[in-house]
């Protein structure tokens, strides 16, 4: 009989298989995770809304369906708490803002609906920064999410609650989203795996800006295989989303085994010398390049020309904030955090020419990256330019002696990659001398999500850094 510790650290794929085979019940799996939440969540503050009784009702129905021999979804009986920026029918969804402190949506976002349809049991919601803005999870409703490896440090963001919950065994798999690094930063800080998929890989619906390509939904889990498993449920076409890609989600349930010998790997510890990076992070990324060399890959220190990426990202992000959040800022003066107010103001100062210039920069980036990947199979970079920082800071204001005065300045290792539109994976890569996690960012070809997962899986299998759990 598995212990509670065994149950809460089983992967999502294994849990679903064991429940489907009758070796575990959905009720005992949920009960183990609820007990884990009761013990661990007060320390890390990852799950901010919990619907334990309703979840147990779902688990009872799941076990009844399994006993009847009815058809089971791929996530049958697997407990999940959803990111608090994703709409969940009948479950409080606050977006981390006092403006929506009591909001109870009447619908599920598509990614949530797909998880539920696959048999996942909804337990509640995970913490986010206000409106998901910024890569540090804190808000005036619930406070900060703390890093499981050092409670005085940030868990990253904006999917910080999701990553911390996965790292501590409160859930095996989480949904998250990524605009400028919101799946990658918390995965790096919490020593788990997070995938920013290609735009349209996980369709967005309903979404007022259906053609928006910077924000994407994706999975967080403890292994690359479970991230791929989560993606197999989240992904797949939906004609209500104009960016939706045609490949069915099931393609990501295939085995990830691949011989890395002969892979052409480009790596840079500082995005081609353009960014300040903490020396300990540099050392971990350089060691990761050595792992690929030992696996037989051809490793070259190289980086594409990312000039214009920062301007492109900031312009399009500001324009998006002005349009989507501007009316809320106007209607609720003093209730929305200052960095969001400033982003809205920046967006309102933009001209049509500014926005079109950013689109031209994006086109130039696409062409440069396409040419770069004629020579390489994957690009390896740091996820974050520094290790997890003080949880009481709003954002770090310097990196290795270089000032980062704006709350987006320290995030460029991810935001520059967001601007390229390429899929990017954060995979555990090692630790600082103080035991703080450092993630490796692997960037793949245009729409090359499956190949990227295979490469990340090979690195993970060779290193096993994700097996090092936090002591909670």
Asked whether residue 254 is domain-assigned, the answer is yes
User: Does residue 236 form part of some domain?
Assistant: yes
Q: What is the chain's length?
A: 472
pLDDT number for residue 2 = 78
C-alpha angle with apex 183: 470 to 40, nearest 5 degrees?
Answer: 30
Look at strands 173-178 and 150-154 and give their pairing.
unpaired
83 found inside a domain: yes
The pLDDT score that the predictor gives to residue 472 is 82
Per-residue pLDDT of the chain (472 residues; tens, 9 = 90+): 678 888 999 999 999 999 999 999 999 999 999 999 999 999 999 999 999 999 999 999 999 999 999 899 999 999 999 999 999 999 999 999 999 999 999 999 999 999 999 999 999 999 999 999 999 999 999 999 999 999 999 999 999 999 999 999 999 999 999 999 999 999 999 999 999 999 999 999 999 999 999 999 999 999 999 999 999 999 999 999 999 999 999 999 999 999 999 999 999 999 999 999 999 999 999 999 999 999 999 999 999 999 999 999 999 999 999 999 999 999 999 999 999 999 999 999 999 999 999 999 999 999 999 999 999 999 999 999 999 999 999 999 999 999 999 999 999 999 999 999 999 999 999 999 999 999 999 999 999 999 999 999 999 999 999 999 999 8
Report residue 381 as tokens.
Answer: 């970079």
Residue 320 resides in a domain: yes
Whether the CB-CB separation of 292 and 313 falls below 8 Å is answered with no
- Spatial distance between the Cα atoms of 25 and 28, rounded to a whole number of angstroms: 5
pLDDT at position 134, please?
94
Closest CA to 120 of 79, 64, 86: 79
Enumerate residues 6+ apart whose C-beta is below 8 A from 139. 96, 97, 127, 128, 129, 130, 337
Residue 372 lies in a domain: yes
User: Which neighbouring-strand residues pair with 201?
Assistant: none
In angstroms, rounded to a whole number, what is the distance separating the alpha carbons of residues 375 and 380? 14
Angle (deg, nearest 10), helices 12-20 and 224-234? 70
Kindly list the catalytic residues. Answer: 83, 158, 182
Distances (CA, A) of 18 to 74, 77, 347, 360: 11, 10, 50, 50
Per-residue pLDDT at 257: 97
What range defines the domain where residue 95 resides?
4-467
Q: What is the pTM for the complete model shown? A: 0.98
Which residues lie below 8 Å from residue 132, measured CB to CB, with a gap of 6+?
A: 85, 95, 96, 157, 158, 177, 179, 182
CATH code at 330? Answer: 3.90.1300.10
Look at residue 26 and give its three-state secondary structure: helix
Kindly compute the dihedral angle of the four CA atoms of residues 310, 314, 316, 319, in this order, to the nearest 10 degrees: -170
CA 139, CA 212: separation in Å to the nearest integer? 25
Residue 472 lies in a domain: no
- Total number of domains in the chain: 1
- The structure tokens 């690929």 sit at 292
Q: Which two tokens stand for residue 355?
A: 């926005």
What is the helix, strand, coil percentage profile of the chain, to 5? Answer: 40, 15, 45
E-state strands within 76-120: 79-83
> Rounded distance, CA 467 to CA 472, Å?
15
Question: Which has the closest alpha carbon to 202: 185, 216, 189, 181?
Answer: 216
Predicted confidence at residue 4, as pLDDT, reads 82
């Amino acid at each position: 009989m598995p212990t509670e510790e065994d149950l809460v650290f089983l992967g999502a794929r294994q849990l679903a298989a064991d429940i489907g085979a009758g070796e575990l019940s959905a009720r005992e799996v949920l009960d183990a995770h609820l007990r884990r939440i009761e013990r661990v969540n007060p320390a890390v503050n990852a799950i901010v809304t919990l619907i334990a009784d309703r979840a147990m009702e779902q688990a009872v129905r799941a076990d009844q369906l399994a006993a009847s021999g009815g058809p089971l979804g791929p996530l049958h009986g697997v407990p999940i708490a959803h990111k608090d920026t994703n709409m969940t029918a009948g479950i409080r969804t606050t977006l981390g803002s006092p403006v929506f402190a009591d909001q109870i949506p009447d619908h599920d976002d598509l990614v949530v609906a797909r998880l539920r349809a696959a048999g996942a049991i909804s337990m509640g919601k995970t913490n986010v920064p206000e409106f998901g803005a910024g890569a540090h999870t804190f808000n005036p409703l619930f406070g900060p999410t703390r890093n499981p490896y050092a409670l005085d440090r940030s868990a990253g963001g904006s999917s910080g609650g999701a990553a911390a919950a996965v790292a501590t065994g409160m859930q095996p798999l989480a949904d998250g989203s990524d605009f400028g690094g919101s799946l990658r930063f918390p995965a790096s800080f919490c020593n788990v795996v997070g995938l920013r998929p290609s735009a349209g890989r996980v369709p967005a619906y309903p979404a007022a800006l259906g053609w928006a390509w910077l924000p994407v939904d994706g999975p967080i889990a403890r292994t690359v295989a479970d991230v791929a498993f989560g993606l197999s449920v989240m992904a797949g076409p939906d004609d209500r989303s104009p960016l939706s890609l045609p490949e069915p989600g099931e393609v990501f349930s295939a085995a990830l085994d691949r011989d890395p010998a002969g892979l052409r790997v480009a790596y840079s510890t500082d995005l081609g010398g353009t960014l300040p990076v903490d020396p300990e992070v540099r050392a971990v990324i350089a060691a990761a390049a050595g792992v690929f060399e030992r696996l037989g890959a051809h490793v070259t220190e190289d980086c594409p020309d990312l000039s214009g990426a920062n301007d492109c990202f900031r312009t399009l992000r500001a324009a998006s904030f002005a349009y989507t959040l501007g009316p809320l800022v106007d209607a609720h003066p003093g209730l929305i955090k200052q960095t969001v107010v400033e982003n809205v103001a920046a967006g309102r100062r933009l001209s049509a020419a500014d926005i079109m210039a950013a689109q031209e920069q994006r086109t130039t980036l696409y062409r440069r990256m396409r040419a770069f990947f004629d020579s390489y199979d994957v690009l390896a970079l740091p996820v974050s330019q520094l290790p997890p920082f003080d949880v009481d800071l709003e954002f770090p204001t310097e990196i290795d002696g270089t000032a980062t005065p704006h709350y987006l300045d320290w995030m460029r290792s991810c935001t520059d990659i967001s601007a390229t539109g390429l899929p990017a994976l954060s995979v555990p890569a090692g630790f600082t001398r103080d035991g703080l996690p450092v993630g490796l960012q692997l960037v793949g070809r245009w729409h090359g999500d499956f190949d990227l997962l295979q490469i990340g899986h090979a690195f993970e299998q060779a290193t096993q850094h994700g097996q090092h759990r936090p002591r909670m």
